[in-house]
Structure 1
Amino acid sequence: MGPVSYVIAILGCADGGAACQQVAIAPARYESAAACEAASGDVLAGSTDFDFPTIVAKCRSAKSPAAVERKPTPRGLAVKQG
């Protein structure tokens, strides 16, 4: 097994976090889960162009199928909760 890197997935949620869909992947890669988590707040703060009531950031292995590259689909100003 080779080195693992992490990415920050941006998720748009319709109902406070239960029904979320991935809307973007931050371009940076991190060498550890801790480094990824440390950067997630800043990435989340800059992710305000999605039309969802809740936006969350999750660190995922870059090899994870859920961390595939997607282009952001901005739809307006999002409101971050929690």
Structure 2
Amino acid sequence: MWKRKLEEKIEATRKKMEDTAKVLGIGHPKVYQLSVELDELHNEWHQRHNRNSSFYTYHKAIVHAKEESIYYRTVV
């Protein structure tokens, strides 16, 4: 459910950015602001997507195991 809502927000922001660029010009600060918002939405999508993927879970387990190993070696 989060995915669809976030993708709709991404699309709406992209469209608003394109429309604003057509009216105000590509170099206008408002277009830049919308571009930054779009980047943040893309980053959020990727973070949420990766959190739900098996690769992320596997990688997180490996990192945790390495951290435990390092901790164990420094304590002993």
TM-score between both structures, scaled by the size of structure 2: 0.25
TM-score between both structures, scaled by the size of structure 1: 0.24
- Bigger Rg over Cα: 2
> As a proportion of its length, which structure holds more strand?
1
